[in-house]
Structure 1
Amino acid sequence: MSLANVIYSINGPVVKIKDTQDFSMLEMVYVGKQKIIGEVISINDKETTIQVYESTTGLKPGEPVYGTGAPLSATLGPGIISNIFDGIERPLRDMAEETGAFIGIGSDVSSLDLKKTYDVTITVSVGDHLTGGDIYATCPETSAIEHRCMLSPMLEGDVIEVKPNGSYTVNDTVVVIKDAQGNIHELTLCQKWPIRTARPVKERKPINRPLITGQRVIDTMFPIAKGGAAAIPGGFGTGKTMTQHQLAKWCDADLIVYIGCGERGNEMTQVLEEFSELIDPRTQRPLTDRTVLIANTSNMPVAAREASIYTGITLAEYYRDMGYHVAIMADSTSRWAEALREISGRLEEMPAEEGFPAYLPSRLSQFYERAGYMVNLNDTEGSVTIIGAVSPQGSDFSEPVTQNTKRFVRCFWALDKSLAYARHYPAINWMTSYSEYEDDLADFYAKNVGEDFLALKQRTSALLAEESNLMEIVKLIGADVLPDDQKLVIETAKVIRVGFLQQNAFHKDDTYVPMKKQLEMMKVILYLYDKATELVSRNIPISNIISTGIFDKLTRIKYDVPNDHLEMFEDYYKEIDQKLMESDK
């Protein structure tokens, strides 16, 4: 390293060096005597600019900067799951033991536990030819996840030595290979990968399987596919974090990566406490056995917030390559965009709309495009599904982050402040939300749920749309002047809104609802509508039908019919027929 590689200026997380050509673009560096982690983000013939991922408090001009020759990378290996990392993959529990409640500047803590041993089974033999992505060893990482150690996509060679099965730490050599040039490579249980580079795959497959969440407004009205991308935009207090918690608990992904990007510390504390107490319904073990948490709270260094998104997606891709289906909850991408804006301002770049940098759309696309349903290099299939929360100031969906996010996602769950304040959860507005995955998933629904599932869903949506139009008239002149057939639409839509779309996260049968029950609920509501329409067409007053109490009874169906007793729906059809016959007399 040249003696000239010393700090020239410091502006928050942005550090500059003058007159050097020793660094390359996106190289990871250590800044100052305390060796705090940074990354080269700009180079010209006069100066090199570094963004620093820790606090620069106490840093002085003249302190040295050390290059590493490598990009900022994540360490990938057993020990990631159930751990809690900061934005640059440092384990927060280990750092707390070392430096106390607050992160010490320049803390050098290994991402993975170097002393813990794993019960390793070697899956290759001497003489085998390995290519990138091939699995050479496995070990149980948690009760829910088997860790599969894979050859780096950058390597290929013949196995010349294999260690016996047994207990090994992450840095112990378990297999030795020789490449075509005769170079020897010792394979351990871990590897490194640059966080800004997507991991290679063999093939990107069509997206045609839903990510089943158990939330009716999502699974039925606005579904997301495995390997898809969705945005949850909403103002303060509309339930973005709560919705993501519910998805993390119940969706049928094998693994959850939860990124708390610039969120309040007490919210992240709630996530940690909740996830450690929750029992996974699939394994009857703590939910943390298949969860990775990346906590980068609002009081942590702003540049690390920008890196946390890439760290999370890299961990997700690593487990996808093993053949798992991974769901990422990014909460929230608006805070990430604000970090980009702050660093861009310190770099004195020309601002675009609302002060955000001109490259905001390209950064968002780089993130969301890493979702997908893939055939991996080892011929397994896996997926990464991205669900990103957006926090538009003042619930203004026309602001740049929300508008640019809509360009790169095919599922948009718009949270509504008025619904949230009315305690209607999930507060997803059925008039402004949309999903473009419906046609892709049509075959799955027809084969696995019911051939009439999409037709029923479309009729349900049409009733809600018609109600919305009618309510505009009601606001002007009142409901009394409407004809009975339109009053029936409003009554049925109320059952759909309260009895179907609204869901209780604290009720044992309503917190998660299987697809078959969602189908039966739609069927019985629309059966009532059809039968009542027949009566109204024969001039039976709508007030007679409402007075039977059958509409109120269907509103409570989500609680009254347990998830494992769907045969009880038959009684509802009989009761509808009976009550409507009474109203006809």
Structure 2
Amino acid sequence: MVKTGKIYGINGPVVYIKGKTDFQMGEMVYVSEEKLVGEIIGLTSEMTTVQVYEETSGLKPGELVYGTGTAIFVTLAPGILNNIFDGIERPLSKIREKSGAFISRGVSVDSLDTTKKWDVHVTIKPGDYVSGGTVIAEVQETKAILHKSMVPPYISGTVISVVDDGPYTINETIAVIKKDNGEELELTLTQKWPIRTPRPINKRYPASQPLVTGQRILDTLFPIAKGGTAAIPGGFGTGKTMTQHQIAKWANADIIIYIGCGERGNEMTQVLDEFSELVDPRSGNPLMDRTTLIANTSNMPVAAREASIYTGLTLAEYYRDMGYDVAIMADSTSRWAEALRELSGRLEEMPAEEGFPAYLASRLSAFYERAGYMENLNGTEGSVSIIGAVSPQGGDFSEPVTQNTKRFVRCFWGLDKSLAYARHFPAIHWLTSYSEYVNDLADWYNTNVGPDFVNCRNRILAILNKESELMEIVKLIGSDVLPDDQKLILEIARVIRLGFLQQNAFHAEDTCVPLEKQLKMMQLILYLNDKAFEIINLGIPVSVLKENNMFEKIISIKYDVANNELEKFDDYKHEIDDYYASIMARHA
């Protein structure tokens, strides 16, 4: 029998049912005859509180609320990739077919195509003992990704029968197992999972290998590990979304989940259009073959915005369980926090700092803690890396969302308004940013890229910090009074900023740079630094060193040396040697 309750009061996306009901906490419900999707978020003997994920205008007291008996869940099966969903995993293409350009209320569509037949290869046989995570069938979901359908967690038993390889829909039976308690259970390509519950794992590993992005300031100065967490805070126009796009295009993750959480509609449209046209540089296939987009624009109901983060996380964990490395781009967690604040206000909860609910920190920690490099139930290894954009109002990093996020992420890429306005992109400031993964990843870098990678990185950062100290003096008394060795530090720092940290996303050679070239560039800049200091120590002024534009030549290396022509770096070293030898000969 379907559980029901009568609407007593309505406050925006929050609906109240008076009296005792049989609903469960966290249960998914349908509100009114329009079947608006909702979730039970409060239960007392006098009142039941429902959070509705759709527009509630037009609802009135007395209408019925219908229970489903299950929590808010996502459907996990082939067809997730190369798809665009709303915040509660409804495909936008199917919604458009039903309701046109605008999402109508109560529109009911299947999360995934239940009529499409997939070419299934069964990987188990009768008599096998299977448990949660065991791969029962493989499907080539896209050209890039082999989908491995698994036994749902917490289920185990002996296989009684399986079907032959061939075309099947996601709801057709693939195998029948006899569970440990004697019950028979039919397994399909589909499983459902509640979005607020992390999927189980065997073991969590410490960070040991980087998520390589091809962006020099990230890979070299402030790296993120596979299974790591990072925040990109920045004011309007500083490049949060563009930085995430670059990571999505070039990172060495197998699968990308992009969550547009409360983004402006025109910006989200641009993302959807761009991603559908992009070519995956690794395979030559469309990038969408290994990407899922979750679009939740700022004019959509706030409750669905709050849920969209968990929807994306659950999809990512599902592919992690197959043994893939997944990167989540959440853009932006500030809009998600604003949805929490609005709902909290409707519920008349006691506000904390700046009106955000007192549980903001615990919600953020629960979100970021679902990242990690894991051993899955089936013995494979996979990772979920979370990169969350933060949009502090007015670029103020002291506001609650940024400050609480800093507590739970180990990588902080602080975007700077002054750099962005000076057209220095990515506008990540080297003085406000940090990464706690550097020591964890040092062995990997030194083994796989070069033995002095981390040492070069530390020297580059030291020069930039020294430049910052000197600029305080320059602002007061000008650069002319500085001694030549300090003038040289400013020159080398300029080479680092323009030639290494600044990167052009629209230049074929500079948009993504392999780690080997990044190391060669650092080594060459530091070689220039060491040679120049030798000459300065002989009493020769900096003005002489700048006569033949050697500094400008090193700055333009990022364009002039192709990513597959690394042997040219030796020619630049010889040129530096020859030039400085000629200077010393002239001043001998």
Fold-level match, TM-score > 0.5? yes
Superposition map of 1:73-222 within 5 A: 73-222=73-222
Is contact 1:28-1:37 (8 Å) kept? yes
Shift of 1:550: 0.3
Alignment correspondent of 1:383: 383
Q: Structure 1: any 5+ residue segments left out of the alignment? A: none
Secondary structure class of the residue paired with 1:458: helix
- CA, structure 1 residues 479+127, in 2 after alignment: closer, same or farther (shift >3 Å)? same
- Which one is further off, 346-355 or 275-284? 275-284
Runs of 4 or more off by more than 2 Å in structure 1?
1-4, 581-584
Alpha-carbon shift at residue 560 of structure 1 (Å)? 0.4
| Contact 2:19-2:45 within 8 A present in 1 as well | yes
* Deviation at residue 216 of structure 1 after TM alignment: 0.2
Q: Which amino acid aligns with 1:307?
A: A
Report the equivalent of 1:331: 331
Per the alignment, residue 302 of structure 1 pairs with 302
Alpha-carbon offset, residue 3 of structure 1:
8.5
Report the CA distance shift for 1:3/1:155 in structure 2 as closer, same or farther (over 3 A).
closer
Relative to structure 1, the CA distance from residue 580 to residue 3 in structure 2 (aligned partners, 3 Å threshold; closer, same or farther) is closer
Alpha-carbon offset, residue 583 of structure 1: 2.8
1:29–1:40 CA contact under 8 A, matched in 2: yes
Note closer, same or farther for the CA distance 1:546–1:87 as it changes in structure 2 (3 Å cut).
Answer: same
Q: 2 CA distance for matches of 1:213 and 1:4?
A: 51
With the length of structure 2 as denominator, give the TM-score of the two structures.
0.99
Give the structure 1 partner of residue 438 of structure 2: 438
- Give how far 1:137 is off: 0.4
Closer/same/farther in 2, CA of residues 108 and 489 from structure 1, 3 Å limit: same
- Which residue identity does 1:184 align to in structure 2? E
For residues 256 and 414 of structure 1, the distance between their equivalents in structure 2, rounded to whole angstroms, comes to 22
Q: Deviations over 1:264-286 (max 9, x none)?
A: 11111111111111110111001
SS in 1 for 2:237: coil
Contact 1:6–1:17 at 8 Å: present in 2 too?
Answer: yes
Which deviates more from structure 2 when the two are superposed, residues 572-581 or residues 254-263? 572-581
- Deviation by residue 1:411-463 (Cα, 9 ceiling, x = unmatched): 00000000011111100000000000000001101110111001111000000
Alpha-carbon separation, structure 1, partners of 2:570 and 2:4: 82
1:417 corresponds to which letter in structure 2? Answer: K
TM-aligned CA deviation for residue 548 of structure 1: 1.9
Q: Which residue identity lines up with residue 7 of structure 1 in the other structure?
A: I
Aligned to 2:529: 529
The answer to whether residue 47 in structure 2 is matched with residue 53 in structure 1 is: no
Q: Is 1:418 aligned to 2:418, yes or no?
A: yes
Tell me if structure 2 keeps the 8 A contact 1:331–1:388: yes
Amino acid at match of 1:364: L
CA distance in 2, matches of 1:532, 1:474: 21
Match of 1:369 in 2: 369
- Report SS of the residue matched to 1:6: strand
Shift of 1:325: 0.2
Q: Tell me how far apart the structure 2 counterparts of residues 583 and 238 of structure 1 sit (CA, whole Å).
A: 43
Distance 1:3 1:109, change over 3 A: closer
Note if 1:553 corresponds to 2:536: no
Q: Is the 8 A contact 1:4 1:19 kept in 2?
A: no
Determine helix, strand or coil for the equivalent of 1:323: coil
1:344 match:
344
Q: Give the aligned residue type for 2:7.
A: I
* Counterpart contact for 1:38–1:52, Cα < 8 Å: yes
* SS in structure 1 at match of 2:59: coil
The CA distance in 1 between the partners of 2:256 and 2:163, in whole Å, is 32
Aligned residues with identical type, % of pairs: 67
Distance in 2 (CA, whole Å) between partners of 1:577 and 1:406 is 45
Tell me the CA shift for residue 581 of structure 1: 2.3
Q: Does structure 1 residue 318 correspond to structure 2 residue 318?
A: yes
Given that 1:375 and 1:381 are in contact with CA atoms closer than 8 Å, whether structure 2 keeps it comes out as yes
Instruction: Give the drift of 1:79.
Output: 0.2
| 1:239-297 deviation per Cα after TM superposition (whole angstroms, max 9, x unaligned) | 00000000000000000000000001111111111111111011100100000000000
Measure the CA separation in 1 of the matches of 2:456 and 2:5.
67
What is aligned with 1:256?
Answer: 256
Pairwise CA distance, 1:33 = 1.1
Q: Is this contact kept in 2: 1:548–1:583, CA < 8 A?
A: no
Quick check: 1:373–1:383 contact (8 Å CA) kept in 2?
yes
CA distance in 1, matches of 2:426, 2:319: 29
Moved more, 180-189 or 558-567: 180-189
Secondary structure at 1:441 match in 2: helix
1:20 Cα offset (Å): 2.2
1:463 aligned partner: 463
The CA deviation string for residues 361-416 of structure 1, in whole angstroms up to 9 with x for no partner, is: 00000100000000000000000000000000011000000000000000000000
Separation (CA, whole Å) in 2 of partners of 1:169 and 1:419? 52
Q: What amino acid is the match of 1:157?
A: G
Q: Alpha-carbon deviations, 1:131-188, whole Å to 9, x = none?
A: 1110000010000000000000021111101001000011111111111222111111
Which residue of the partner structure matches residue 398 of structure 1? Answer: 398
Q: Which residue identity lines up with residue 243 of structure 1 in the other structure? A: T
**Is 1:23 the counterpart of 2:23 in the alignment?**
yes
Is the 1:226–1:384 contact (alpha carbons within 8 Å) kept by the matching residues of 2? yes
8 Å CA contact retained: 1:121, 1:138:
yes
1: CA distance, partners of 2:540 / 2:491: 15
Deviation per CA, 1:319-355, whole angstroms, max 9, x where unpaired?
0000000000000000000000000000000000000
Q: Where do 1:493-532 residues align within 5 Å?
A: 493-532=493-532
Q: C-alpha distance in 1, partners of 2:559/2:342? A: 48
**Counterpart secondary structure, 1:383:** strand
Matched to 1:493, the amino acid is A
- Helix, strand or coil at the partner of 1:305: helix
Kept in 1: contact 2:258–2:329 (CA 8 A): yes
For 1:131, give the aligned amino acid: S
How far apart, in 1, do the equivalents of 2:424 and 2:183 lie?
Answer: 63
Residue in 2 that maps onto 1:489: 489
- The 2-side partners of 1:579 and 1:479 are apart by 26
> Are the equivalent residues in 2 in contact too, given 1:2–1:22 (CA < 8 A)?
no
Give yes or no for contact 2:277–2:286 (8 Å, CA) kept in 1.
yes
Q: How many residues align?
A: 585
Alpha-carbon distance between aligned partners in 1 of 2:67 and 2:294, rounded to the nearest angstrom = 26
Cα separation, 2, equivalents of 1:2 and 1:456:
66
Q: Is the 8 A contact 2:177 2:186 kept in 1?
A: yes
Verify the 8 A CA contact 1:374 1:381 in the aligned structure 2: yes
Contact 2:2 2:66 in 1 (8 A): no
CA–CA separation in structure 1 for the residues paired with 2:152 and 2:338: 34
Give distance in 2, aligned partners of 1:303 and 1:55: 10
Deviation at 1:558, TM superposition (A): 0.2
